[in-house]
Amino acid sequence: MLKTQELGLMALVRSALTRRKVELPEGFSLQAVVPMVRKHQIAPIIMQALNYYNLPEQPMFVQAMMPTVAMSLSVFESQNRESEKLFAALQERGIDYAPLKGTLLKKLYPSEDLRSMADVDVLVRTGDREKLDKLMRELGYTSEGESDHEYNWRKGYVHMELHKSPVPSYDREYYAYYGDGWKFFAPIAPKAHRYAMRSEDEYVYLFTHYAKHFRDGGIGVKHLTDLWAFLKAKPDMDREYIRGELRKLHLEKFHENVLAAIACWFDDAPMSETSETILHAILGGAAYGVKEMQQRAEAVRISPNGKSSKLRWTTKKIFLPYKNMCSKYPFLRYLPFLLPIMWVVRWVTAIVCKPKKLSQNVKDAKNMSQESVDEYRAYLDSVGLRFEGKG
């Protein structure tokens, strides 16, 4: 069963987003959910909800949350300002771009500042890399390197993720569907360099992103409220098209289960065991800690059919794949034959410069059993989610 504090947090979130008071469970403590509020970065939402209550703990809670809310609002304003500058500059220089995720989703909330963002996500074309690098530096950003599917830039509190693709290539079944993503986008107007998806494709992408985070052990409250807000704002979408596309992504069953969980949260629907499992995972009470879940998810991804998942996970950690090594040592893209040598360099560097991290990695490998990986795979199966194909 969901705990009292989890049910209380759900009620507060629902109050803020539906703009009405929702009854709190008996025994709920506002102070007890402070860590959960901070973890999920939903302080603005909970502060909004408190307008409908007069709880004894409210003054103490508000005092504790004010610095967090103030920082959230400051980051929100900075992100808005810098996004507008970037989008205007991209249009002026004829560089195609498409805002993703939070930049669009916040407009669907009762108030935009309720939807905090860790970063600003924008899809770009890889062929524009040189022009983008030049522009970002001119706008005052500092490069924080390149990941599998992103160019990362920072300016103060603003973190810009310029996406090479909507999803990482290592999520192979999702990447096979999206590729670089541009086939799902069209200009918002003649001569515009800003692109957007139609609502149905945006929702499918939003849910794919949700599934990725759930599967990889990094899900949060905002992932679910995003889905609720989107469905609430766009009730006339072509549901048959959406179901068909989710079927291609092997997400149809999981989608049904998530919709049932949303109905439990926002519409008082009966709570099934599957809905409880999903909500418990989102609210932070899953069977494994976040780090352990992420490690097991990676092991399942590497060996989705269950054979020697732990062994393959450990081997991949020791012999980091070529693409990951290129992120650490970019020159390997041009000199791939040096990969074995750079594996040795990486090991020596870890032993000499990062002994604590190395020790922790060894400990993690010892602590993760094949049985625990199989349990995690069964846990994903129970909610209708799987890793398809080779990792």
What residues does each domain of the chain span?
1-56, 69-197, 198-286, 290-382
Distance between CA 143 and CA 141 in Å, rounded?
7
Pairing, β 120-124 against β 158-163: parallel
* Burial of residue 337 (number of CB atoms within 10 Å: 0-12, 13-18, 19+): exposed
pLDDT at 390: 43
In the beta sheet, which residues pair with residue 97?
A: 124, 194
Q: Are 196 and 185 in contact (CB under 8 A)?
A: yes
Q: What is the DSSP string of 58-104?
A: HHHHHHHHHHHHHHHHHHHHHHHHHHHHHHHHHHHTT--EEEETHHH
Q: State both tokens at 67.
A: 């610095």
Distance between CA 212 and CA 202 in Å, rounded?
15
Q: Where are the beta strands (DSSP E) in 86-173?
A: 97-100, 120-124, 142-146, 150-155, 158-163
Distance between CA 103 and CA 317 in Å, rounded?
34
**Rounded to two decimals, what is the model's pTM?**
0.83
pLDDT at 364: 61
In the beta sheet, which residues pair with residue 255?
A: none
Kindly compute the dihedral angle of the four CA atoms of residues 280, 281, 284, 287, in this order, to the nearest 10 degrees.
90
DSSP H helices, 171-251, are 172-178, 199-215, 221-233, 239-248
Q: Which CATH architecture has domain 69-197?
A: 2-Layer Sandwich (3.30)
pLDDT at 48: 96
- C-alpha 83, offset from chain centre: 20
Q: Are 21 and 15 in contact (CB under 8 A)?
A: yes
Cα distance between the two ends of the chain: 34
pLDDT at 391: 40
pLDDT at 286: 40
SS3 117: coil
Query: What is the H or E stretch that residue 45 is in?
Result: helix 43-49
Task: Encode the chain (391 residues) as per-residue pLDDT tens digits.
Answer: 789 999 999 999 999 999 999 999 999 999 999 999 998 999 999 999 999 999 999 999 999 999 999 999 999 999 999 999 999 999 999 999 999 999 999 999 999 999 999 899 999 999 999 999 999 999 999 999 888 899 999 999 999 999 999 999 888 889 999 999 999 999 999 999 999 999 999 999 999 999 998 887 778 899 999 999 999 999 999 999 999 999 999 999 999 999 999 999 999 999 999 999 999 889 875 433 466 666 666 666 655 555 555 566 566 667 777 777 887 788 888 888 888 888 888 878 877 777 776 666 656 655 566 676 777 778 888 999 876 644 4
Distance between CA 212 and CA 225 in Å, rounded?
16
Nearest alpha carbon to residue 102 among 130, 80, 78: 80
289: left (phi over 0), alpha (psi -120 to 50) or beta: beta
For residue 134, what are the contacts with CB-CB under 8 A and spacing of at least 6?
A: none
Distance between CA 6 and CA 280 in Å, rounded?
8
pLDDT at 216: 79
Q: What is the DSSP string of 232-269?
A: HH-TTS-HHHHHHHHHHTT-HHHHHHHHHHHHHHHH--
Q: Where are the beta strands (DSSP E) in 246-337?
A: none
For residue 327, what are the contacts with CB-CB under 8 A and spacing of at least 6?
A: 145, 146, 147, 148
Distance between CA 153 and CA 23 in Å, rounded?
43
Angle at 273 between CA 267 and CA 278, to 5 degrees: 70
pLDDT at 33: 92
